[in-house]
Structure 1
Amino acid sequence: MALKHLNLAVPDVAQTVSFFEKYFGFHTDEVKGDNVIAILEDNDGFILSISNFKKDVIPQYPADFHVGFVQKTPEQVMEIYQTMKADGIDVGKEPHNYGGRGTYSFYVTAPGNFLIEVLCVI
């Protein structure tokens, strides 16, 4: 079994879609309404929907909620980090090795105010 679909509720669908397209290689398959929902897909067939069905409600995620994007190498993690940093995104600390499973990663807050972890298992 594999997780192949996720919906994220955000205040600004278009802004969040652009973020996922630019930094994580998603392409937009469809946008419904006036940016009410966008359906994105990556090269592995993962379907990500970005939605804002209630324009007057700002979605809130729990403090520890995050979405992870696994890369194949530490160099790929660093490349994404450096690209985001060069684009003026607050990426926090440089990627580093976390104990336990041995992951090399960094965290960034995405448009929509939720965390993304960019990582590779080493």
Structure 2
Amino acid sequence: MRLNHLDLHVADVAATRDFLVHHFDFRHIETRGRDGLAILHDSAGLELVISHPSSKFGGADAGSVGANTYHIGFILPDKADVDRLYERLRAAEAELWEAPQAIRGGWMFYCMAPGRILIEVGWRPGH
């Protein structure tokens, strides 16, 4: 069995979609409705769906709840790639925590994407 897709609920589908395409190299496959649901793919074959909160699943997203109950993580092939992405996000005035640093045997940082999606970006030796 393999993971088929992830669906993240956000208030602003277009802003979250554009952030992930621009900064995290996702490809925009399609958007259904008026920014109602966006389908993105990465180079490894992951399908990431960005959609509005659905009432049948409780109707909540991290912004409306006021808390993050999950995060998504990206691993980069080189430590310098982490630093470059951090600088690109900083220049774009993304919401960032501390600069990249040694954490749990790797080199990483955290940022917040539109829709209050917490993102971990890192490098680990041997990955």
Indicate the TM-score class for this superposition, using the shorter chain for normalisation: 0.7 to 0.9
Q: Deviations over 1:51-87 (max 9, x none)?
A: 01549x5512754511001101111111110000011
Out of 60-69 and 78-87, give the one that drifted further. 60-69
The answer for the alignment partner of 2:80 in structure 1 is: 75
Looking at structure 1, the residues matched to 7 and 31 of structure 2 have their Cα atoms a distance apart, in angstroms, of 14
2:51 partner letter = S
1:112 to 110, 115, 121: 115
Give the 4+ runs in structure 1 shifted more than 3 A: 1-4, 61-64
Q: Structure 1 residues 20, 120: CA separation in 2 closer, same or farther (over 3 Å shift)?
A: same
Give me the identity figure in percent.
34
Q: Give 1:90's aligned amino acid.
A: E
Q: TM-score, normalised by structure 2?
A: 0.84
- 1-structure distance, mates of 2:53, 2:33: 10
> Which amino acid is 1:112 matched to?
G
Q: Which segments of 5 or more consecutive residues in structure 1 lack a partner in the other structure? A: none
For the residues of structure 1 that align with 2:74 and 2:3, how far apart are their CA atoms? Answer: 13
More helix by share: 2
Q: Provide the rounded CA distance (Å) in 1 between the counterparts of 2:107 and 2:29.
A: 31
Amino acid at match of 1:93: E
TM-score w.r.t. the length of structure 1 is 0.88
User: Gaps spanning 5+ residues in structure 2: where?
Assistant: none
Counterpart of 2:13, as a letter, is V
Alignment pair present for 1:41 and 2:41: yes
CA distance in 1, matches of 2:53, 2:113: 19
Q: Which amino acid aligns with 1:74?
A: K
How many residues align? The count is 119
Match of 2:21 in 1: 21
Q: State the superposition RMSD in angstroms.
A: 1.9
